[in-house]
Amino acid sequence: MTTAAPAASRATATKRPADIAFQAVSTVAGVLILIALGGVAIFLVAQAVPAIIGPIPEAEGASFWDWVWPLTFGTLWSAFLAMIMAVPLAVAIALFITHFAPRRLAQLLGYVIDLLAAIPSVIYGLWGIAVLAPFFQPAFLWLGENLGWLPLFTPPASGTGRTILTASVVLAVMVLPIITALCREIFLQTPRLNEEAALALGATRWEMITMAVLPHGRSGIIASSILGLGRALGETMAVAMVLASSGVVSFVVIGSQNPSTIAANIALRFPEAHGITVNMLIGSGLVLFAITLLVNGLSRWIIAKTTVDGGR
Amino acid sequence: MSKRIEINDLDIYYGDFKAVEGVSVDIEPRAVTAFIGPSGCGKSTVLRSLNRMHEVISGAWVDGEVLLDGANLYGPGVDPVNVRRQIGMVFQRPNPFPTMTIRENVLAGVMLNNRRMSKSDQDDLVERSLRGANLWNEVKDRLGVPGSGLSGGQQQRLCIARAIAVSPDVLLMDEPCSALDPISTLAIEDLIEELKTEYTIVIVTHNMQQASRVSDKTAFFNIAGTGKPGKLIEFDETAKIFSNPSVQATEDYVSGRFG
């Protein structure tokens, strides 16, 4: 900017009061979010350090990491199960709404999906305990008897039905609306020209979807799944209510021995925690925070890798 | 390869709205037929009714017949998907599939019908189609890059290659040059001239010079007013339409007195 621009033209760039005020407000807002995030991170690390370096009261000779591993496993495992169920279903629902349903039905379904997102998680928890668990229990027994040779269904089956699979189903129902709503928006934005290009080549409706709609929506599907995964990882109340946990590391999804999740464990134990136990729980919170950051970073990386530029 | 299309007394409706009324045109094989007329006169709708693409708007239906070598495209039990496999289409704006490479774009239509095709057959087809669209020399070294990276004119020729790769009987072009610069337009017009030795071509254009340059026969459509159906005013040899039309409205339009 050292070119010989006449001074007069530079002077015309007057600062208007409204511009200055707006810039100040938005800058403050932007800085605030950074401060909040940094504050949370500092709090978690500072509070977690005593538990991470020192001995913990849970078991003799066990380190913090031995204690937090089953919880981390439970968090990841339940979220993974939930995503396996929720993502294909959500994509299918979104496709149905955008490309198959008559307009009236599509609108109604859209409202219902949005409504599902508005139900508090405590209600989902109650539903999981009162309806889902007893409903699944006979199915778990059957799975244990007939498919028990699969590591997933090793008997004995739970007597209450409050297993990690039930919790994952509840989680799946909870994340379904987020993923569906986002996928619906993305599928609606598929360029009409691309859809017509496929149809004009003699594609059936389904072939058109695989040629035009899904490739266009790929990064959006990933992004919305990650948002759903974030909710599944951090979901507290529903899991705390539904899951009968015992702190094991096990892939069995129908048994009475289930790993707990970090968030549910914090919610259940924090009210009666004191001393170093508080630090342990906060430390597990730090682990959850790190997992969430990692998942977000991973998703950004995937989206950046799979997005084709110049797509319109 | 190329087939004759007879349109007999065709009315096209969107729900209750009659968009086009009473069109009868004989489209010759191995020739270029142009549809011209002011905006909203229904020429694109008629074009899209020839491969049933207007049906992507729900509520669209027709009264009358479109015969492809005698077979009614609107007969009972005729699947629009099969119609579109015989009658290819090129759109106003180039629309290669953005996530596919140039090669995949060319093969997109063939893959729908015939997934088990040997690699060498595919290579042959890609080269033949791209040569047919006058694009081979420009892209032969980069068949693996996304089609969206080409220039607009190249993209449009890629779309033509994609359409002719499935060996259609007829090629429909809906204002194929309206988004292109004059040089690319010229390239497409030259290509149309070559393609008509093999295909029946129907082209909608807003550009009357283009119609007179590329077409053998021209149909002039007009509309009486908003909300009224579009009608075919005159259909004749292109030379006659542009020099000595028999209807006054046609003469006014081609001489630039309106529209």
**What ipTM, to 2 d.p.?**
0.88
Query: Tens of pLDDT along B201-223?
Result: 999 998 888 999 999 999 999 98
Rounded to a whole number of angstroms, the distance from the CA of B185 to the nearest CA of chain A is 20
Looking at the domain A54-310, which fold is it? MetI-like fold (1.10.3720)
Cβ atoms of A75 and A263 closer than 8 Å:
yes
CA atoms of A131 and A192, how far apart (whole Å): 43
Q: Within an 8 Å CB–CB cutoff, is residue B44 touching chain A?
A: no
Query: Contact B149/A311, CB-based, under 8 Å?
Result: no
**Spatial CA neighbour of B176 closest among B218, B151, B210, B126:** B210
Q: Within an 8 Å CB–CB cutoff, is residue B239 touching chain A?
A: no
Encoded tokens for B173: 């072009």
Supply the pLDDT for residue A308. Answer: 52
Q: How far is CA B247 from the centre of its chain?
A: 26
Rounded to a whole number of angstroms, the distance from the CA of A262 to the nearest CA of chain B is 40
**Spatial CA neighbour of A48 closest among A60, A36, A40:** A40
A28-38: b or e for each residue (b if 16 or more CB lie within 10 Å)?
eeeeeeeeeee
Q: Which residues in chain A touch residue B148, judged by CB atoms under 8 angstroms apart?
A: 308-311
Closest CB from A201, A218, A309 relative to B108: A201
CA atoms of B189 and B210, how far apart (whole Å): 8
Query: Tens of pLDDT along A120-162?
Result: 889 999 999 999 988 988 888 888 888 888 878 877 777 788 8
For every residue of A242-292, DSSP letters joined together read H--B-------SSSS-B---HHHHHHHHGGG--THHHHHHHHHHHHHHHHH
| Residue of chain B with shortest Cα separation from A101 | B58
Q: Within an 8 Å CB–CB cutoff, is residue A7 touching chain B?
A: no
Please report the residues numbered 219 through 278 in chain A whose beta carbons come closer than 8 angstroms to any beta carbon of chain B: none
Encoded tokens for B35: 């549809």
Q: Which residue has the tokens 């009486």?
A: B224
CA atoms of B56 and B39, how far apart (whole Å): 20
What predicted TM-score, i.e. pTM, was given to this entire model? 0.81
Q: Cα–Cα–Cα angle for B100, B104, B110, nearest 5°?
A: 130
Q: Within an 8 Å CB–CB cutoff, is residue A204 touching chain B?
A: yes
CA atoms of B215 and B189, how far apart (whole Å): 10
Q: Cα–Cα–Cα angle for A191, A195, A201, nearest 5°?
A: 145
Q: Which residues in chain B touch residue A203, judged by CB atoms under 8 angstroms apart?
A: 81, 112
Q: How far is CA A273 from the centre of its chain?
A: 27
Q: Within an 8 Å CB–CB cutoff, is residue B166 touching chain A?
A: yes
Query: Contact A196/B56, CB-based, under 8 Å?
Result: yes
Closest CB from B84, B95, B148 relative to A202: B84
B132-165: b or e for each residue (b if 16 or more CB lie within 10 Å)?
bbbbbebbeeebeebbbbbeebbbbbbbbbbbbb
Closest CB from B84, B85, B99 relative to A308: B99
Q: Within an 8 Å CB–CB cutoff, is residue B145 touching chain A?
A: no
Q: Which residues in chain A touch residue B100, judged by CB atoms under 8 angstroms apart?
A: 215
Query: Contact B88/A311, CB-based, under 8 Å?
Result: no
CA atoms of B135 and B152, how far apart (whole Å): 12
Q: Within an 8 Å CB–CB cutoff, is residue B85 touching chain A?
A: yes
Supply the pLDDT for residue A158. Answer: 78
- Give the C-alpha distances (Å, rounded to integers) separating A276 from A48, A49, B236, B244: 9, 10, 94, 99
Q: How many residues does chain B have?
A: 259
Cβ atoms of A112 and A298 closer than 8 Å:
no
Rounded to a whole number of angstroms, the distance from the CA of A104 to the nearest CA of chain B is 13
Query: Contact A200/B53, CB-based, under 8 Å?
Result: yes
Query: Contact A202/B113, CB-based, under 8 Å?
Result: yes
Supply the pLDDT for residue A59. Answer: 62
| Residue of chain B with shortest Cα separation from A214 | B99
Interface test with A, best of B95, B100, B104, B155 (most A CBs within 10 A): B95
Q: Which residues in chain B touch residue A208, judged by CB atoms under 8 angstroms apart?
A: none
Per-domain boundaries in chain A: 54-310
**Residue-by-residue pLDDT tens, chain A, 312 positions:** 455 545 555 556 677 889 999 999 999 999 999 999 999 999 999 988 888 887 777 666 678 888 888 899 999 999 999 999 999 999 999 999 998 888 899 989 988 988 888 888 899 999 999 999 889 888 888 888 888 888 788 777 777 888 889 999 999 999 999 999 999 989 998 888 899 999 999 888 899 999 999 988 888 898 899 889 988 998 888 888 888 877 778 888 887 788 888 888 888 888 888 888 888 899 999 999 999 989 888 888 877 776 654 443
The percent of residues above 90 in pLDDT, for chain B, comes to 37
